[in-house]
Each structure stands twice: as structure tokens, then as C-alpha cells.
Amino acid sequence: MSARAAGAPSLQGVARCGSRLGRIMRLMFTANGLMSYLFLYAPILVLVIFSFNASRFVTDWAGFSLRWYAKLFDDAAMMAALKNSLIVAFASTLVSTLFGTMTALAMERYEFFGKLGLDALLYLPIIIPEISMAVMLLLFFILARIPLGITTIIISHIAFNISFVTVVVRARLAGMDRQLEEAAQDLYANELKTFWRVTLPLMMPGILAGALMAFTLSLDDFVITFFTAGVGSTTLPLRIYSMVKLGITPEINAVSTVLIAASMTLVLFSLLLQRERRTEKVRNI
């Protein structure tokens, strides 16, 4: 009863009836729910567990060992890929966060001609299949005679990250209380001062969440990077891919585990920052 008092539309009504059919149905729902979580986490657990396997045979357990992690640090190609990944992620996050935040401000605070069209243009990179975006960028770089390399990867990552940052920051702006800004202006702060002292600090959780999301998307991207990379600009996902194609090794499990841990941490932070107001719409894209 307490759950209902809190306004929770729960199955209390069904529970009250407590017929046999109802019990069986609830049991099946619970079983399906738990199995689904198992399905979602099992592959990740398998990866993590076998990354600590001492054996060189990937799925034969031979005791706990950190040797594959140690091997990662000795692998020059892997370290170069890590460096490239970080350069790309930092550069694309910096630019797309700045551009995306500015766009969000314009979209949320101003009325102008062509807003609807711009909205569509902003949603397109999120909607279209990655492979389509990848090949059109490749074709563009070839025709524009821009040599493929780390620059083209960064350009491409900015192109899809702007949209994601805009969506996240806009959500924050839309949920913001404008009374504080009005109060500041009532107290004779000019527009610029109001922006720096009130609007920007209030937007900050959204901007940070957007930046973290952009960083994760950039760090994790494979398809678009695969098509826009050149010689010597291999990122971590590309390195993992080429290793998988050559044959499964425990080292792949180790680097995969590192990547999963990194993106889980980043995303958790990003979601927590966004949560403040929008708990019901965790992923509003």
C-alpha cells in the first residue's frame, strides 16, 4: 500500500487478486527480466574474466594472471593506437562541445528563420546509418584530396559529435529555471554578466555531460574511423579489429576490458550529470 501512496502505478491491484494465473504471469515476467540482464552482462563478464586468464588459449581457464595486461604496455603498436585514440577523442570533444553548446543556446533561446531545417540537419548525423556516413566522408576526402589520417578522423568525429552535444545541452537548457537569469537582470547585471555568472554555471552539468558523451563516442567509434583513417592513424578500436581478424588472443580481452571500463566510467558520470532533472528520459535521443 505504501508504494501506491507514493503514487506508483504498480501491480498492487493484481497482487490483491492473487489468482494463480496472475502469480504465474508475474513469475514469468520476473524470470524474463532477470534473464535479460544476464544476457546483457554475460558477454562483458566473459571478456573480463578471460582477460585474467593465465592460459594462452582464450577460453581454457588456467588460473589468474595479469600477464596480458603487462603485455599491453610492451606492445608498441597498442600504445601508439592508445595515443591516437586519446588525441582524436580530446580534439573532437573540445571542438564539438564548444560548437554544440553554442548551437544549443541558439536553438533554445532564439527564434530565427530556418530553425526547423537546422533541427533536421542536426538530427541527421544521429539517424543515418554509420556505414553511410562513413562512406560519404571517405568519398568527400578523396575528392577534396585531403590525405586520410588523424586529421580526417578528427573532422569526422566532430561532425557526428556536434549533434550529440547539442541534444544533451539543449535538454539541460530546456529544463532550466529562467527566473534566476531574470533576477540577475533585475539586479542590474548586463546580458554578458548574466550569461557568465548565471546561465553558464547553470548549463555546466549539461555541457559536461555532453563532453563526456562526445569523448566516449569518439573513443569507441569504429565504423566511421575505419573508413576515414589512413596509414599510421590506427586508433584502439581499429587495432582491436585488426587483431580479431588475425585470430583471437587473450591480449584482445585485456585491451577490450580496459576500453569497457573506460567507457562505463565515462558514461556513468555523464548519465549522473544528466539525471538531475530528467530521470525519466535517461536517453532522449
Partner 1 sequence: MISEQVARKTSLWELLRRRPGLQALVLLLPSLFWLIVFFAFPLLIVLVYSFLRRGPYGQIVWDFNLENYGRFLDPLYLKIFLRSFKIATLTTVFCFLFGYPMAYWMATRPRRWRNALLLLLMIPFWTNFLVRTYAWILILRDTGLINNVLMSVGLIRQPLPLFGNDFAIIVGLVYGWFPDMVLPCYAAIERLDFSLVEAAQDLYANELRAFARIIFPLSLPGVIAGSILVFIPSLGAYVTPDLLGGAKSVMIGNIIQNQFLTVRDYPFGSAISFALMTLMLIAALVYFRVGGRTL
Through-space distance between the first and last CA atoms of the chain, rounded to whole angstroms? 35
CB of 81 to partner 1, least distance (A): 13
CA dist 127 and 65 (Å) reads 43
Q: Is 183 in the site for partner 1 (CB under 8 A)?
A: no
Handedness of CA 82, 84, 87, 88 (dihedral sign): negative
CB of 131 to partner 1, least distance (A): 4
Residue 10 phi/psi, 5-degree rounding, is -105, -170
Biggest CA-to-CA distance, the chain: 71
CB of 233 to partner 1, least distance (A): 16
The one-letter amino acid code at 267 reads V
Among 39, 116, 232, 246, binds partner 1 (CB under 8 A): 39
Which residues in 108-167 contact partner 1 (CB under 8 A)?
110, 112, 118, 121-125, 127-133, 135-140, 143, 155-156, 158-159, 162, 166
Which residues in 205-244 contact partner 1 (CB under 8 A)?
216, 219-220, 222-223, 227, 237, 240-241, 244
CA dist 157 and 152 (Å) reads 9
- Of residues 36 and 183, the one with the C-beta less far from partner 1: 36
Site string for partner 1, 46-75 (x = CB under 8 A): xx--x-------xx----------------
CA dist 110 and 45 (Å) reads 47
CB of 230 to partner 1, least distance (A): 13
Which stretches within the chain are classed as H helix? Answer: 2-5, 12-17, 20-51, 67-74, 76-109, 115-127, 130-143, 150-174, 179-186, 191-194, 200-220, 223-228, 236-246, 250-275
Among 25, 77, 174, 204, binds partner 1 (CB under 8 A): 25
Integer Rg of the chain from CA: 24
CB of 187 to partner 1, least distance (A): 19
Q: Is 44 in the site for partner 1 (CB under 8 A)?
A: yes
Among 36, 62, 70, 147, binds partner 1 (CB under 8 A): 36
- Of residues 12 and 70, the one with the C-beta less far from partner 1: 12
CA dist 249 and 42 (Å) reads 19
- Of residues 37 and 196, the one with the C-beta less far from partner 1: 37
Q: Is 10 in the site for partner 1 (CB under 8 A)?
A: yes
Q: Is 195 in the site for partner 1 (CB under 8 A)?
A: no
Among 102, 176, 180, 202, binds partner 1 (CB under 8 A): 102
**Stretch of 42-50, 65-73, 82-90, 180-188 lying at the interface with partner 1 (CB under 8 A):** 42-50
Burial of residue 269 (number of CB atoms within 10 Å: 0-12, 13-18, 19+) = middle
Please count the CA atoms within 13 angstroms of the CA of 184 that sit on its side-chain side: 17
CB of 106 to partner 1, least distance (A): 4
Which residues in 250-279 contact partner 1 (CB under 8 A)?
252-253, 256, 259-260, 263-264, 267-268, 271, 275, 279
- Residue 157 and residue 218 in contact, taking contact as beta carbons nearer than 8 Å: yes
